[in-house]
Amino acid sequence: MKVQPVFDFSSRANVGRMPDWIRQAFGNDDYALTARTVTKNALTTVCEEARCPNRGECWSRGTATFMLLGDTCTRACGFCAVKTGRPGVVELDEPQRIAEAAFDMGLDYIVLTSVNRDDQDGGGAVIFAETLKALRLKNDQIKLELLTPDFHGCQPQAIETITRAMQNAIGDNFLVWGHNVETVPSLYKRVRKGSSYERSLALLEKVSGFDSTETKSAMMLGLGETQPEVITVLKDLHNAGVSRIALGQYLRPTRFHLAVEEYITPEHFAEYESIALDIGFSWVKAGPLVRSSYHAED
């Protein structure tokens, strides 16, 4: 049975109504085309499952972030709207359906992510690998971005599976390998149940040295972190070889999820962007509605 996470919020602050600077875009004709393509190919998108506030804007630009390995996660993070529970079987034809959708949409840049599949040997990395191959067979010029789980218990095996596919199917084409640390270490037990800050850093460090690859991560702000903690994480990520960083506002998807502790102002996000650039990141997106795949193709 699929269930939603339940948390005790009795001690959490209530910051009041959402500020005026958080705006969500509506769709246009291209939005409808993206929606039809997703439905036609029976695909799952993180845009829908995670209730992303940018779906209107991104789908209207003809882009979407495809979520592999089903719509049910084996973890129950306090911030995430994706369903948690016992996942269904892995659909082995999913890579081909992703490739068909990318071709129908005329994409030249695609972002692939997935739920955590701690129930699978290899964490489902084989589906990432097969999707890379299918996409390159359909369009050998497509640029690729992965947003993978931490592959708990099978990290070396999963990395090898994906990197082998990269070498065989991608060649010299540019690829971004992302994994989100999401928050500061002091909040992990509350925000990222079942995850480890050190495990996430280890994954990013291992993949940061691959040729023709840049490494990326993202954080949500407004969960109770302090600015010194955020700066420490930025330095840790840069030292691990991460060159791309996205910083956005946490928005509570339902009453069953963690409360917003603070709404970060656009001016404060601009300050974080300046700090990240000074630390040495080559690509920085920071703003209230920024998410890890927001304008990823830039």
Give the DSSP H/E element, type plus range, for residue 143.
strand 143-147
Q: Does 23 reside within a domain?
A: no
pLDDT tens digits, residue range 181-209? 999 999 999 999 889 999 999 999 999 98
pLDDT tens digits, residue range 69-104? 999 999 999 988 888 999 999 999 999 999 998 898
What pLDDT, on a 0 to 100 scale, did the predictor assign at position 60? 57
Q: Give residues with Cβ within 8 angstroms of 44, minimum separation 6.
A: 66, 67, 68, 70, 71
Q: Does 291 reside within a domain?
A: no
Q: Does 178 reside within a domain?
A: yes
Domain range spanning residue 140? 29-286
Choose between 49 and 95: higher pLDDT: 95
Picking from 8-17, 59-68, 127-136, which range would have the lowest pLDDT averaged per residue? 8-17
Q: Does 21 reside within a domain?
A: no
Q: Does 245 reside within a domain?
A: yes
Q: Does 22 reside within a domain?
A: no
Q: Does 18 reside within a domain?
A: no
Whether the per-residue pLDDT at 3 is higher than 50: the answer is no
Going by pLDDT thresholds of 50, 70 and 90, the confidence category of residue 55 is low
Q: Give residues with Cβ within 8 angstroms of 245, minimum separation 6.
A: 216, 217, 218, 219, 234, 237, 276, 281, 283, 284, 285
Of 152, 149, 3, the C-alpha closest to 85 is 3
Going by pLDDT thresholds of 50, 70 and 90, the confidence category of residue 168 is confident
Whether the per-residue pLDDT at 142 is higher than 90: the answer is no
What pLDDT, on a 0 to 100 scale, did the predictor assign at position 211? 78
Amino acid identity, position 179:
H
112 phi and psi, to 5 degrees? -115, 130
Query: Average model confidence (pLDDT) for the chain?
Result: 85
Choose between 195 and 59: higher pLDDT: 195
Helix axes 94-104, 29-40, angle to 10 degrees: 160
What pLDDT, on a 0 to 100 scale, did the predictor assign at position 9? 33
pLDDT tens digits, residue range 248-291? 999 998 888 999 999 999 999 999 999 999 999 999 999 998 98
Over range 114-128, report the average pLDDT.
Answer: 95
Q: How many domains does the chain have?
A: 1
Q: Does 145 reside within a domain?
A: yes
Choose between 108 and 278: higher pLDDT: 278
Q: Which neighbouring-strand residues pair with 73? A: 84
CATH number at residue 123: 3.20.20.70
pTM, two decimals, is: 0.85
